[in-house]
Amino acid sequence: MNAIKFLPFLFFFIGFCFSCKKDDSHTCTTCSSSQTFEFEVCRESNGNAYVNGEDTGTNYDVYITGLEDAGATCGN
């Protein structure tokens, strides 16, 4: 009888564990300008832009917009 009381908590715990699956997806684009070689900018699961595997600490969309405003061309 007491086990039935804990059943909702068990379902919650199981659901919580499955919802915490790490999102390893990332999206990359190639950028270039007249002053640089082509380089790849990736959006990682935390939403930041990564260049050469290094976290820029800047949101991907903000980073790409800044590059394009500075004259770079980015696209697949």
DSSP conformation letters of 28-58: EEEEEETTEEEEEEEE-TTSEEEETTEEEEE
Residue 1 lies in a domain: no
Q: How many domains does the chain have?
A: 1
**Nearest C-alpha neighbor of 75 from the set 33, 26, 23:** 33
Residue 51 located in a structural domain: yes
Q: Is residue 15 part of a domain?
A: no
Q: Is residue 61 in a domain?
A: yes
For the question of whether the overall pTM of this predicted structure is more than 0.85, the answer is: no
Q: Which two three-digit tokens encode residue 25?
A: 């997806």
C-alpha–C-alpha distance, residues 62 and 70, integer Å? 12
| For residue 34, pLDDT beyond 60 | yes
Q: Percent of the chain, pLDDT > 70?
A: 66
**What pLDDT is attached to residue 26?**
75
Amino acid at position 69, single letter: D
Domain that holds residue 70: 23-75
In a domain, 43, yes or no: yes
